[in-house]
C-alpha cells in the first residue's frame, strides 16, 4: 500500500530593511500553495520568539516598534496544517539618543527632612534612576530600588547635611550623561514654650525633632545678646533657675553632629520678686482627672484654682516630652485623637505670666 505525504511548502526568502522613521520594512516572496504566513521576531536580549502576526495574508509587513539592538525576524508559510521552514533576516536597530538636562533637575528639602526631586522628561527615555552622595565624598548610591517612570522622586532616607544628586535617563542598556544638583538637609526648628513658675524660675519645653541628638537652650534679655544656658539638654524641658527680671526671649536649637537647626524665640516677662504684701499668691496645682470615653476620646477635667484666669492642658507619651493641647482652656477639655499606650495628662493654672506647678495623672489607652 502506498502512503502519500504532502510535502511542506517552500521556505520564504525574507528581507528586512530599517527605515529612517525607526520602523523595519519586512518583505518576502509568495509561496505557491501557501494560505497564510506567520511572522515572529527575537531580540538580542531575549531567548523566546515574539509572534508579530500568526496569520498574515500578504507578503510584506512593517514592524512599527522594533526593540533596540540586534533583531532577528523569521517568516514561514502555512499550507493546510503544514508549515514550511523559516526564512530569516536580521537588522540592527540603533538606539535613539537620550538626554536629560540636569539644569532642569531641582532638589527641594521639605520640613519632614525628605528631599523632593523633579525633572523634565527626557526624549526617548523609558525610565530614570536617581543617585546620591554626601558632598565631598566620591561614592554614588542609587536611591530608587525600581526604575522610575515618573519625573519626580522623594528621597526619604537622605542623611543630614549637604547632599548631591543626579538623575539619569534610561533606555534599554543605554543611559544619559548627567550633571549634579545639591540640597542641604537640616533639622526642623523645635517648637518652644516658656512659662514663669510661681517660684520665679522659667520652665522651657519643646517638641522633639526627628534625628536630633541633643538640644541647646538659649536666653536673651532685653537689649542683650543670646546666652547659652545648656549645650546638651535632653528630655524636652529645661528649667532656668535664676532668670533676669524683665522681658526675656528663650530659644532652643536641635543638633546632630555639625548640623544645627534654626530657632523660633518665645518671649516672657519675668517679674521682680515681691516684697511686703503679695498681690498674687502662689498657685496650687489643679486637681486633674482624665477619663477614657467610649468613643475613644479622653475627657480632662480639673478643680478650679483661685485667681487663675486660664488653664493650659498637656499630655505626654511614654518616653516623650510634654505636648500642649490647649493654652487657654476653661471648664474642661476633650482630647479627640489621643495616642495609644501609657499617656500622662496634666493641667496648669495661669494668671498673666505666672503659672502653677502641676500634678500628672496616668491613663492607659488601648
pLDDT of residue 139: 93
| HSE-CB of 278 using CA atoms within 13 angstroms | 8
Compute the mean pLDDT over every residue in the chain, rounded to the nearest whole number.
86
Cell 498657685 found at: 283
H or E stretch at 168: strand 161-171
The C-alpha angle 180, 183, 184, rounded to 5 degrees, equals 145
Alpha-carbon distance 318 to 5, whole Å?
87
CA distance linking residue 254 with residue 249, whole number of Å: 17
Residue 278: its pLDDT value, please? Answer: 43
Sequence-distant (≥ 6) Cβ neighbours of residue 357 within 8 angstroms: 197, 198, 283, 284, 285, 348
Residue 306 and residue 308: Cα distance in Å, rounded? 6
On whether the CB atoms of residues 333 and 300 are closer than 8 A, the answer is yes
- Give the percent of the chain with pLDDT over 90: 39
Cα separations (Å) of 258 from 229, 232, 250, 263?
19, 14, 22, 16
> Cα 79 to chain center, whole Å?
61
- Residue 220 CB burial class (10 angstroms; 0-12, 13-18, ≥19): middle
pTM of the model: 0.50
Whole-number CA gyration radius for the chain: 37
CATH code of the domain occupying 102-185: 2.60.40.10
Q: Is 111 exposed, middle or buried (0-12, 13-18, 19+ CB in 10 A)?
A: exposed
- Neighbour-count burial of 313, counting CB atoms closer than 10 A to its CB (0-12 exposed, 13-18 middle, 19+ buried): buried
State the residue for C-alpha cell 495661669.
Answer: 350
- Domain 288-365 top-level CATH class: mainly beta
Task: Parse the chain into domains and list their residue ranges.
Answer: 14-93, 102-185, 192-270, 288-365
In the chain, which stretches have pLDDT less than 50? Answer: 276-280
CATH fold for domain 192-270: Immunoglobulin-like (2.60.40)
pLDDT digits (tens, 9 = 90+) for 28-41: 999 999 999 999 99
CATH 2.60.40.10 at 14-93, yes or no: yes
Asked, colleague to colleague, whether 102-185 and 288-365 share their fold, the answer is yes
Amino acid at each position: 500500500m502506498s502512503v502519500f505525504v504532502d510535502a511542506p511548502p517552500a521556505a520564504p526568502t525574507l528581507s528586512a530593511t530599517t527605515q529612517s522613521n525607526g520602523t523595519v520594512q519586512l518583505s518576502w516572496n509568495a509561496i505557491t500553495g501557501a494560505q497564510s504566513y506567520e511572522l515572529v521576531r527575537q531580540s538580542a536580549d531575549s531567548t523566546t520568539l515574539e509572534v508579530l502576526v500568526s496569520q498574515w495574508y500578504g507578503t510584506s509587513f512593517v514592524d512599527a516598534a522594533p526593540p533596540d539592538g540586534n533583531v532577528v525576524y523569521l517568516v514561514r508559510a502555512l499550507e493546510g496544517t503544514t508549515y514550511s521552514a523559516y526564512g530569516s533576516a536580521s537588522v540592527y536597530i540603533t538606539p535613539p539618543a537620550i538626554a536629560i538636562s540636569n539644569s532642569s533637575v531641582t532638589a527641594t528639602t521639605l520640613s519632614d527632612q525628605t528631599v523632593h526631586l523633579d525633572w523634565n522628561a527626557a526624549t526617548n527615555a523609558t525610565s530614570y534612576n536617581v543617585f546620591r552622595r554626601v558632598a565631598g565624598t566620591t561614592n554614588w548610591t542609587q536611591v530608587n530600588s525600581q526604575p522610575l517612570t515618573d519625573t519626580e522622586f522623594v528621597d526619604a532616607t537622605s542623611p543630614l547635611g549637604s547632599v548631591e544628586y543626579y538623575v539619569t535617563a534610561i533606555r534599554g542598556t543605554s543611559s544619559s550623561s548627567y550633571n549634579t544638583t545639591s540640597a542641604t538637609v537640616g533639622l526642623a526648628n523645635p517648637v518652644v514654650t516658656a512659662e514663669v513658675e510661681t517660684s520665679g524660675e522659667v520652665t522651657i519645653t519643646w517638641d522633639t525633632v526627628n534625628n536630633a541628638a541633643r538640644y541647646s537652650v538659649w536666653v536673651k534679655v532685653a537689649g542683650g545678646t543670646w546666652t547659652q544656658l545648656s549645650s546638651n539638654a535632653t528630655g524636652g524641658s529645661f528649667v532656668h533657675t535664676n532668670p533676669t527680671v524683665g522681658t526675656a526671649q528663650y530659644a532652643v536649637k536641635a543638633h546632630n553632629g555639625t548640623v544645627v537647626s534654626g530657632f523660633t524665640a518665645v518671649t516672657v516677662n519675668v517679674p521682680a520678686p515681691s516684697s511686703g504684701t503679695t498681690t498674687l499668691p502662689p498657685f496650687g496645682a489643679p486637681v486633674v482627672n482624665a477619663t477614657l470615653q467610649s468613643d475613644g476620646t479622653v475627657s480632662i477635667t480639673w478643680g478650679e484654682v483661685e485667681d487663675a484666669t486660664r488653664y493650659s492642658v498637656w499630655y505626654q507619651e511614654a518616653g516623650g516630652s510634654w505636648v500642649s493641647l490647649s493654652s487657654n482652656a476653661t471648664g474642661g477639655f476633650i482630647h479627640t485623637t489621643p495616642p495609644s499606650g501609657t499617656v500622662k495628662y496634666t493641667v496648669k493654672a495661669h494668671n498673666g505670666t505666672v503659672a502653677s506647678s502641676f500634678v500628672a495623672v496616668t491613663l492607659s489607652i488601648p
